[in-house]
Amino acid sequence: MIKIISEERKKYLRKIKKEKILVLLTQITLLIGFIAIWEILANYNVIDSFITSQPSRIYETFINLGSNDLLKHIGVTSYETIVGFLLGTTLGILIAIILWWSNFLAKVAEPYLVVLNSLPKVALRTNNNYMGRCWYTSYNSYGYSNIINSNNTRKFKWIYKN
């Protein structure tokens, strides 16, 4: 089946397409202009390039990081994020289905789920990993470093940077 489009419709579609292209070209021009002005102002010391940097330095740093396995690390982080999200979502859906099917299990689990939901998520991490472990923590602190730790209060070295 062949659809016949009127000339007015074709004209309207061309107008919409031209407008989309014009908007895209204007956006690209504004971006390039902003970056060019930023680079020029940084080169002529109108803006402090130490605070705002400059596009050429950012590009050089990115290329330098790219030669030092940056893409590999980005890939690993993305993979771990996606796998963690999918595992958490799948487990959450399965637990929700089980609780939905079994009224008895839902009633048993309700107070525990309410308590778990009110806890800060940081408090739920396990002690057997080294996340957040600092050089000044004692072996007795199990990886938690805080000001209250008696080992830290005896040596004031933790206050100052080396």
pLDDT at position 26: 98
CA distances from 33 to 26, 36, 40 (A): 10, 5, 10
Burial of 41: CB neighbours in 10 Å, binned 0-12, 13-18, 19+ = middle
pLDDT digits (tens, 9 = 90+) for 4-62: 889 999 999 999 999 999 999 999 999 999 999 999 999 999 999 889 999 999 999 88
145 vs 136: CA distance, rounded Å? 8
Go through the chain and tell me how many residues it has.
162
Which of 97, 144, 92, 81 is CA-nearest to residue 117?
92
Which pTM value belongs to this model? 0.46
pLDDT at position 126: 61
pLDDT at position 55: 95
Helix (H) or strand (E) holding 36: helix 7-43
pLDDT reading at 137 higher than 70: no
70 vs 63: CA distance, rounded Å? 9
